[in-house]
Amino acid sequence: MSELPDNPISATVDFAREGVQHGFLKLPYSRDDSAWGAVMIPLTVIQRGQGPTALLTGGNHGDEYEGPVALSKLAQGLTAAEVTGRVIIVPFMNTPAFHAGRRTSPIDKGNLNRSFPGKPDGTVTEKIADYFNRTLLPLADIVLDIHSGGRTLDFLPFAACHVLPDKQQQARCEAAMRAFSAPYGMRMLELDAGSMYDTAAEGQGKVFVTTELGGGGSSSARSVAIAERGVRNLLVHAGILEGEVQETQSIMLDMPDGDCFIASEHDGLLEMCRDLGDKVSKGEVIARVYDATRTGVAPVEYRAARSGLLAARHFPGLVQCGDTVAVIADLTG
């Protein structure tokens, strides 16, 4: 197998230099309105002395805002004197999608979190994925990717880790997830994990934590506060910042199999019958979908396939066939 070509992205910062640097990942992108243009992905690198490296990302999906807000504030306020090791902050990981306020890139429709390991000679989104996979992830010891539900989902605020073949690595990831100290903690099942950033990081042996901190295409004071506290807790846990982890009571949840997900098989008007955080019983009606093209038609009822806690729901009032309507998680502690 031939070696991959070099990635065209260049960094305007020196990842080995001490101090605070604000710069860009510069991806050449020739287009109609800029013949010799570039996609400019902002980043901050803060380094002092020897120690672990944390890679902190937000905006993997462009309609999720807790990460971009919390990490923009961290990049502005964190000083080198506070750090032992290195912190790499990328608040707007998929910058084209973020500027468009959309989950995917307006350039190539690419979903960055389904584009790994990426291609150095592929689409814009694939080039970004390849740079993270082959350049930034190898620098990191601990990786945090902050998500929320975006415009089409709403979640209970949780930090998450995955079940991994390497149980020692899984234990390290779970310890970091607990240190984040969100109101909920989740052992998470992904529907299509193969091409995710999460899988790329875990495949390189990194301690990886992700989150879902709300949704609806906006952020709240509460969700941003959870993100800010969690980021600092994680940096303390990693030994990069001094101090104590600010612990809060986390309710542990589990998504063990596909029965957790309720998907719509119809287009129409969505009525949620239970709210986030409610305990539900197997067989209970969770949602109804009404035919929005005529009156007098009985709605389709969607029932829980398991008992548990309603951890996520479809956000807009209209639903399409194939959309996830709800996620029911097991309460484990």
Residue 289's CATH number: 2.40.50.100
82 and 60, same structural domain?
A: yes
Co-location of 227 and 286 in the same domain: no
Q: Which amino acid is at 91?
A: P
How confident is the model at residue 188, as a pLDDT?
Answer: 81
pTM for this entry: 0.96
Whether residues 250 and 270 share a domain: the answer is: no
Q: Are 87 and 240 in contact (CB under 8 A)?
A: yes
Domain C-terminal end among 188, 221, 254: 254
**66-77 vs 221-237: helix crossing angle, rounded to 10:** 60
Among candidate residues 159, 176, 326, the one with its CA nearest the CA of residue 259: 326
Q: Which pLDDT score is estimated for 1?
A: 44
What does the pLDDT read at residue 258? Answer: 86
Q: Residue 191: its pLDDT value, please?
A: 67
Q: Would you say 91 and 58 are in contact if contact means Cβ atoms under 8 Å apart?
A: yes
| CA distances for 260 relative to 48, 187, 211, 214, 255, angstroms | 44, 12, 18, 18, 6
Q: Is the same domain home to 232 and 325?
A: no
Judge contact between 172 and 83, C-beta under 8 A: no
On whether both 17 and 125 belong to a single domain, the answer is yes
Structural domain includes residue 4: no
The Cα 103–Cα 194 span in angstroms is: 19
Q: What is the domain-level CATH number for residue 231?
A: 3.40.630.10
80 and 183 both lie in a single domain: yes
Determine the Cα–Cα distance for residues 225 and 248; give it in Å rounded to an integer: 13
Residues 215 and 271 grouped into a single domain: no
Stretches where the chain sits below pLDDT 50 are 1
Last residue of a domain, one of 239, 254, 269: 254
> Would you call 219 helix, strand, or coil by DSSP?
coil
Please tell me whether residues 237 and 320 are part of one structural domain.
no
> Which two structure tokens, joined as six digits, stand for 297?
């038609």
Q: What tokens were used for 261?
A: 């997900």
Range of 316's domain?
258-331
Q: Which distant-in-sequence residues (6+ apart) come within 8 Å of 253 by Cβ?
A: 156, 158, 184, 185, 186, 187, 308, 309, 311, 329, 330, 331, 332
Same domain? 158 vs 192? yes
**Domain annotation covers residue 5:** no
Q: What is the pLDDT of residues 77-126, one digit of tens each?
A: 999 999 999 999 999 999 999 999 999 999 999 999 999 999 999 999 99
- pLDDT digits over 252-271, tens only? 999 988 899 999 999 999 99
DSSP 8-state code for residue 25:
E
Q: Are residues 135 and 268 in the same domain?
A: no
3-state secondary structure at position 197: helix
Nearest to 112 by CA among 136, 141, 138: 136
For residue 186, being part of any structural domain is answered with yes
What would the two tokens of residue 222 be? 């509460």
Q: How many domains does the chain have?
A: 2
Rounded-to-10 torsion of CA 99, 101, 105, 111: 130
How far apart, in whole angstroms, are the C-alpha atoms of residue 116 and residue 125? Answer: 9
Give the end of a domain, one of 231, 254, 277: 254
DSSP assignment of 120-153, as one string? Answer: TTS-HHHHHHHHIIIIIGGG-SEEEE----TTTE
Degrees, nearest 5: CA angle 298-299-305 = 135
In this structure, the answer to whether residues 278 and 158 fall within a common structural domain is no
94 and 49 both lie in a single domain: yes
